[in-house]
Amino acid sequence: MYKNTVLLIRPVFLVLFLFLGAGVPGCGSSGEKSAEQAWSGLSDEGSGMTVEELMRSPKIDAHAHFMALAEEDEEKFIAKLDEHNISWLTLCTVGTNWANLQKQISLAERLHSRYPNRVSWATSFNLENWGSPDWEKEAIKTIADGIEKGALAVKVWKEFGMVLKDPGGSFVMIDDPRLDPVFDYIEAQGLTLAAHIGEPITCWQPVDSMSNQAARDYYRKNPQYHGYLHPEVPGYWEQVLTRDRMLEKHPGMRVVGSHLGSLEWDVDELAKRLDRYPNFAVDMGARIYNLQEQEREKVRNFIIKYQDRLLYGTDLVAGWGEKGVAGDIELLDKTYLSDYRYFATDEEIEVLQISESAHVRGLALPANVLKKIFYENARKWFPGI
């Protein structure tokens, strides 16, 4: 990663409430209908949207993380999601830290049960027991338990290819045949695999050669994941190609590649995979600035062409920041408002992730494309969200 009180409302006010796209946590029957009403009239091909219209419309952040959230902070954080009319798909992750993963799963279960219209979740599985006789059985059991509690996806992380090793010292790659029974189970259950495989191409470059400040900051703080410093770690293209082989082996399994599928540096390279693998889509989590580094019209044309395969996501985290939940909420506001401007307007936008002086022009995408990226595609690629 690159963090009830029941209200009695008169019918006339309830209609207005639904039209504005707001939602009462825990009330589910009218959510889908009100969402469609909120988007209606704004999705004609060619028409645009203002930032205010996009903020008011229902949206899904398809890559987010509830790492920890005290019960006393729940309502405050959910209220902020309500303000943006956005729901979170929280991805439980890092099977090589089973104790922490179990905490994430418990939190996701709790939040989904309390706020089903605002929180959906993806489970994962233990990798501390990799290679044991019961590994496959336990992994499938964890997924099955998650399904019973509402999980609609399974997350795998870059520990495949970069962290997890066999006893002989070789790295376990995502196309390893020992994973096939788990992937077959995911497909049979109708779940989606959310796959963070590999890292940005900058991971295998010296820090001073990296094209953006975000990468430089990340790898300075996390040298354990800086491939340039660890020649024993399989290289960039090996990570990508093993992911591609996994897609070929499991053509019936829906796969959403996290972080633009680790092809963030060139939309042309990403387009090749989207053309080749119809079961593959990608989220934009923590990689929108990589789009902003590329030529505007090229990116805009790419998004319009592949508008059915791109999911809005941020990689925002709740409960992990040094400033507590108040800091998480502040970053959430800043991130969403900047992203609304980039995708919906042609305004000039400051992008500090690139550099202190970087400014880019927004894409001014049509409303029908915005609806897919921010809402419909998540529902298509993560059924049940």
Residue extents of the structural domains in the chain: 11-381
Q: What angle do CA 214, 218, 222 make, to 5 degrees?
A: 175
Check residue 179 and give its pLDDT. Answer: 98
Give pLDDT, residue 34. Answer: 64
User: Quick one: pLDDT band at residue 38, thresholds 50, 70, 90?
Assistant: confident
In whole angstroms, give the CA distance from residue 362 to residue 214: 20
Is residue 343 over pLDDT 60? yes
Q: Measured between alpha carbons, how far is 333 from 364 in angstroms, rounded to an integer?
A: 20
- Stated length of the chain: 385
The CATH superfamily holding the domain 11-381 is Metal-dependent hydrolases (3.20.20.140)
310 contacts 285 by C-beta, under 8 angstroms: no
- Provide CB contacts within 8 A for 369, sequence distance 6+: 303, 304, 307
Flag whether pLDDT at 356 surpasses 80.
Answer: yes
What's the pLDDT tens digit per position in 18-31? Answer: 333 434 444 443 44
Beta-carbon contacts of residue 320 (< 8 Å; ≥ 6 apart): 3, 65, 67, 68, 328
pLDDT in tens, 210-245: 999 999 999 999 999 999 999 999 999 999 999 999
Instruction: Please provide the average confidence, as pLDDT, over all residues in the chain.
Output: 91
